[in-house]
Chain A
Amino acid sequence: MIGTFFALVAKELIGFFRSWGLVAIVLYSFTLDIYITGAGIEMQAKNIAVGYVDETGGGMSGKILSRLHMPEFQKPVMFTSREALSRSIYNREIMVGLIFESDFEKKLKRYGRTSIEMLLDSIAATQSFQALQYLQNILLDYADIGIPVELKIHKLFNPNATTSQFMAMAEMLSVITLLGVILTAVVFVREKENGTWDIMLLMPIDPKLIILAKSFSQVLVIMGGVVIATGIVLFGVFDVPLNGSIAAFFLLSFFYAFTSAGIGLFVAAVSKSMLQVAQLSILIMMPLIFLSGAWTPIHAMHPLLQKLSLISPLRYYIEGSESIFFRGTDFADLWSYFGGVIVLGSVLYFYGFRKIGRLF
């Protein structure tokens, strides 16, 4: 029994390592792909292009402009007229346009308050909003508003608020899902296509054992990728903090890999050809990834989507992993994530066993 199980696993692993194309795709996904996403996708506003028109002739305006610097702002570009500035914004070369009107400084001296005219390209809404906040914070430093309240703000878990760490982690979880589903589905459908599945069904073995062993082999491949990605990309390149237990993360990943293999099993059970596998995987995985909270926290979603997300195993996995890496949640408090992943996985295998078992 155990011997047969490992023979099945070994066979799949041999097959995997012999198809260099597959190995290359898996390696690429667990390293470069995660790196590109982490390094490339930046949601925090940075390096904002600023232009200005200064009608005052320097002084206060110069002081303010000198406070606009990296990493938040590019060096402000001077424009000679409002029209030129506005044209540049319309052509989307400049995101923030500041206009210091001629009486800007005069007003400040006379009334103690003054204002800057600002043209803001607010297409990228979040970034624009942040740009506005940055600017207001800078200006607030000059003011003496005389409030006796001091705010002590602690940003927990990721104090520098680096998007790359978060994105890299989220992308790794998406990659696990993607490969877990596709690799497993391919393993089963390839047997269907080559006719070897018939032979397997004629072996004096419980088909459940075959299904479990084949899934397990792909789980091993995925776990290998997880170790590489966590070690090299997450910790090595992006310096992702680890506030919880790494063992808990690997255990959760293991269960999750099994569950995503279960989705692959489902896909394989209902498709007849590789093309159908590809189509179905896309149709199933897109919602899965977007209902997971990788891009938007669940509780900020449309209420209907929130309900739907309950059946996405990735939701539990992402929340669980966030908690382990960033929040440092205790192992005992992770039970709901483990529970969600395991329950959904069990349902999928139950279906897979029945569907593929029906051939008997």
Chain B
Amino acid sequence: MAELEIRGVTVKHGGITAVKDASIYAERGEIIGLIGADGAGKSSLMHAAAGVIRFDGEVSFGGTSFGSPREAERLKPKIGLMPQGIGLVLYKNLTVSEHLSFFSKIRGLKEDAALNDYKHRLLKMAGLERFTERPAGKLSGGMMQKLSLICTLIHRPSLLILDEPTTGVDPLSRLELWKILEEIRESEGTVTLMSTAYMQEAEKMDRVYLFDSGTIIASGTAEELNETVKGYVYEPVACRSDRCIAAGHYTYSLDPLKTPHKEPTLEALFFINALKRGVEIPEIVVSERESEEPIPQVVMEAKGLTKRFGDFVADDHIDMDLKSGEILGLLGANGAGKTTFIKMLLGLYPIDDGELVLLGKPIRSAEDRLGLKARIGYVSQHFSLYKDMTVRENLLYFASMHGIDAKKASSRIDRYAKELGFTSYMDSLPTELPLGINQRFSVAAALLHEPVVLFLDEPTSGVDAIARSQFWQMLKLLKRKWGIAILITTHYMSEAEYCDRVVLLKEGRKVADDSVENLYKKHPAAKSFEEIFLHYYEDGR
């Protein structure tokens, strides 16, 4: 019998079945991955396995089994759960060291030298030893996740349940999180159950379960799973039918193509599954802009832009420019100053130092921005939609804010809905929709007034592979058909490769600014863009 066995677990939330009849097993020391679109049931299954939600079926671990949260109590000393959400389980006012001592005390650990050593080891692994006196609320997202993880590890759980611990976390922190996991499973033989949106991570796991609308539809090692779809994956080629889809560097087709096959990644699983199940993946279309306003050559020019919060310098004399018809990727670790930079460009934060020219106009005061607002589009990290209004109402509202008359607005909204593929969701509330759809229509909201420049702050975090691929298709079309400039931040390094140029920020300073090809040329040893990124970050550490 395996160390962890989840047998036929079903979880219902107020009448809706979140997971149906799911079974999973894991041996000692294994890291098990759960993948699938947002809302596919991964979190519910993890909650059941952690014994924090009512479920039908049985979970057994190390020979003890339970069928309800109450029965799970006796196993809880052995379980560690880190739920989804950055810094969710942290107390914003408590410092790092107070967290460790709180978590060790509520776990009833003996306060001795061994515990102290272990705490130091954890702090060191997480790279937090210099920040023990900092309140959790003042840590960057990546640090928060690492702190959450070591707090979850403090009692040396033999079953570790991690719900998307790496979503919204920069590549370097992700790597560090992984290092901690590897170390802990080596030394403790911990069983880890982990969901992730990064397929490169899933590929490192011992076994992966693919979720789709509440059921597990495939499982096995990354190789085994890739094997099952190998026959459907091709080099990129234009194709469009119910049985074929082109996405980024790959083309997926159920019918044989003449193009050569390509080695699949786990992302292929999502596409092939969608094709097989006949899920409609609408083709993204973008038609020409209605306005004929010319777009300036250089859309944005920043010189020495600086932002300070007290002693802390969030952005330190950053130079950057953005041209029309360009997609510029702004990369950097959590807390490197990306969001602050965008907010300065938008005027949401005052600029402390430096010069900014937007759309040919030098910005010195709020008045300078007034005329420009109608030409800028912005999507924030959290999409920022009104949760109590339907998609259509949201869009109409934003249109009227831009002074677009009702008739024109309706026709434009209908057109976007058709082109971007969310027509069938027009009368749903944002909270009822998958993240991918929310993301697409918040971009639509930012495009209603046909801006000449678009600022996108982490628009793809937590969004599933198919939706992300469609999203990028849309950006490329916008660039080509509208010729507008796009500034985007992301933690997916694979997405950086779709950008024309990337700017890398590190601790508030610009450390690289070049096209992706040139960067590859500068770093011939790098196999992926992630390695280039890490190269810049590991320098001088």
Contact = CB atoms under 8 A, between A and B. Distances in A.
A and B touch in the complex (CB under 8 A): yes
Interface of A: 3-4, 7-8, 11, 14-15, 18-19, 194-196, 198-205, 359-360
A195 B386 contact: no
Contacts of A7: 396-397, 400-401
B366 A202 contact: no
B402 A204 contact: yes
A contact patch SS:
helix
10 contacts: A18-B389, A194-B387, A196-B384, A196-B385, A199-B378, A202-B346, A202-B347, A203-B398, A204-B373, A204-B402
Interface string B368-380: 0111011010101
Contact of A4 (B378, B381, B387, B401): B401
Nearest to B374: A204
Given A195-B382, A202-B376, A203-B402, A11 B397 contact: yes
Given A3-B400, A7-B400, A198 B385 contact: no
A176 to B, nearest CB: 24
B348 interface: yes
A217 B400 CA distance: 17
B402 A199 contact: no
Contacts of B387: 194
A359 B401 contact: no
B388 interface: yes
A323 to B, nearest CB: 40
B27 interface: no
Given A7-B397, A15-B389, A205-B401, A195 B384 contact: yes
Nearest to B367: A360
A296 B388 CA distance: 42
Contacts of B182: none
A200 B393 CA distance: 15
Given A196-B384, A202-B376, 8 more contacts: A3-B400, A4-B400, A7-B400, A7-B401, A195-B381, A198-B378, A199-B378, A204-B402
Nearest to A14: B389
Interface residues of B, number: 30
B369 A199 contact: no
**Which of B346, B371, B384 has the largest count of A CB atoms less than 10 A from its CB?**
B384
Nearest to A199: B384
Contacts of B346: 198, 202
A24 B369 CA distance: 42
A4 B366 CA distance: 21
**Which A-B residue pairs are the 6 nearest by beta carbons?**
A7-B400, A360-B366, A204-B373, A203-B401, A15-B388, A195-B384
A196 B369 contact: no
Contacts of B389: 11, 14-15, 18
Contacts of B343: 198
B403 interface: yes
Nearest to A17: B388
Contacts of A203: 373, 398, 401-402
Given A4-B400, A7-B401, A11-B389, A194 B369 contact: no
B89 to A, nearest CB: 19
B348 A198 contact: yes
B403 A4 contact: yes
B401 A201 contact: no
Given A15-B389, A360-B369, A194 B401 contact: no
B262 to A, nearest CB: 40
Contacts of A19: 388
Nearest to A194: B384
A195 B387 CA distance: 12
Nearest to A3: B400
A359 B384 contact: no
A202 B457 CA distance: 15
Contacts of A199: 378, 380, 384, 398
A201 B380 CA distance: 13
A301 B437 CA distance: 60
A200 B348 CA distance: 11
Contacts of A18: 388-389
A3 B387 CA distance: 23
Contacts of B371: 204
Contacts of A4: 400-401, 403
**Which of A4, A196, A200, A359 has the largest count of B CB atoms less than 10 A from its CB?**
A196
B408 to A, nearest CB: 13
Nearest to B429: A18
Contact of A11 (B380, B381, B386): B386
Contact of B393 (A3, A14, A359): A14
Interface in B379-429: 380-382, 384-389, 393, 396-398, 400-403, 405
A288 B385 CA distance: 35
Interface string B500-539: 0000000000000000000000000000000000000000
A196 B386 contact: yes
A202 B373 contact: yes
Nearest to B385: A196
B443 to A, nearest CB: 13
A354 B427 CA distance: 37
A201 B343 CA distance: 12
Contacts of B347: 201-202, 360
A195 B379 CA distance: 10
Nearest to A359: B348
Contact of A198 (B384, B388, B400, B401): B384
Contacts of A202: 346-348, 373, 376, 378
A11 B371 CA distance: 25
A203 B378 CA distance: 10
Given A14-B389, A204-B402, A204-B403, A194 B374 contact: no
A14 B401 contact: no
Contacts of A8: 401
Nearest to A4: B400
Contacts of A200: 401
A270 to B, nearest CB: 19
A15 B386 contact: yes
A201 B386 contact: no
A194 B388 contact: no
Nearest to B382: A195
Nearest to A357: B366
Contact of A195 (B366, B370, B380): B380
Interface string B176-193: 000000000000000000
Contact of B388 (A14, A201, A205): A14
A15 B162 CA distance: 35
Nearest to B379: A199
Contacts of B398: 199, 203
Nearest to A16: B388
A4 B385 CA distance: 18
Contacts of B373: 202-204
A191 to B, nearest CB: 9
A12 to B, nearest CB: 10
A241 to B, nearest CB: 41
A111 B403 CA distance: 94
B35 to A, nearest CB: 28
B324 to A, nearest CB: 20
Interface string B66-94: 00000000000000000000000000000
A169 to B, nearest CB: 33
B152 to A, nearest CB: 26
Nearest to A197: B384
Contacts of A201: 347-348
Contacts of B380: 195, 198-199
Contacts of B366: 360
A100 B203 CA distance: 99
Contacts of B397: 7, 11
Nearest to B446: A199
Interface string B341-360: 00100111000000000000
A3 B376 CA distance: 22
Nearest to A195: B384
A194 B370 CA distance: 24
B307 to A, nearest CB: 14
A8 B378 CA distance: 20
